[in-house]
Amino acid sequence: MSAALQFRNLTLGYDRHPAVHHLEGTIAPGALMAVVGPNGAGKSTLLKGIAGVLKPLGGRIERGGLKARDIAYLPQVMEIDRSFPISVYDMVAMGLWGRTGLFGRIGPLQRDKIHHAIAAVGMSGFEQRPIATLSGGQMQRMLFARLLLQDARIILLDEPFTAIDARTASDLLDLVRRWHREKRTVLAVLHDIELVKSHFPEALLLAREAVAWGRSGEVLTPDNLLKARRMCEAFDDHAEACERERAA
């Protein structure tokens, strides 16, 4: 069901300024992994790189031969234009685009899948509601319904539980566990250390580079968390990317 993700001397950034640099490692098929680190650690940048939204400045990402439609990416909710005039139903239906195309026909089977996904996240009855009227929790439920339709082998979640109520967070965690049981690879950017230790077996602690990587309890120690914070504070935001390669 899943494929391994491999980072080979990976550097990601913007305008040649690195946000993640010289990352090496493998995420095993079917992993349930949290990406943790201070603000500015490069967590969201890493997910954008895996999703193909951001091209590497150096090195590469190997996705096990997967195509873009096999990777589902949920950005931070603040990146979604909630003023766009679209209904919950149509927003969820966008999860089918990878298979039907932008102008592909949605027949009875596809409509059933859309309604089933909406019901699975507890949003039945909201189909025609404009997304601008949704609460934070309802918005995130809708976006998880869209992920369900994508049926992807790799799922990337950027701060999926931020600014939502506890009941919604619990329901969405149930979906994450379901994906894990289905042996999909799930990566989530998270800030709640206790939530990570309780629900995510593996963690990558990032501070522009990997501080620690492995079992969550072994990675998220006070010493490692302090080291990550100090590394981010010391990082030169004006450094040029791939300096090592040029020096070599």
- Domains of the chain and any CATH numbers: 1-66+193-248 (3.40.50.300)
Q: What is the pLDDT of residues 77-126, one digit of tens each?
A: 878 888 889 999 999 999 997 666 555 667 888 999 999 999 999 999 99
Q: What is the pLDDT of residues 118-152, one digit of tens each?
A: 999 999 999 999 999 999 999 999 999 999 999 99
The Cα–Cα gap between 60 and 172 comes to 31
Q: In sequence order, which residues have a C-beta less than 8 Å from that of residue 152 and are 6 or more positions away?
A: 69, 70, 71, 72, 184
State the average pLDDT over residues 9-23: 92
> Please, which pLDDT band fits residue 15 given cuts at 50, 70 and 90?
confident
> Please, which pLDDT band fits residue 4 given cuts at 50, 70 and 90?
confident
Q: Return the pLDDT at 69.
A: 75
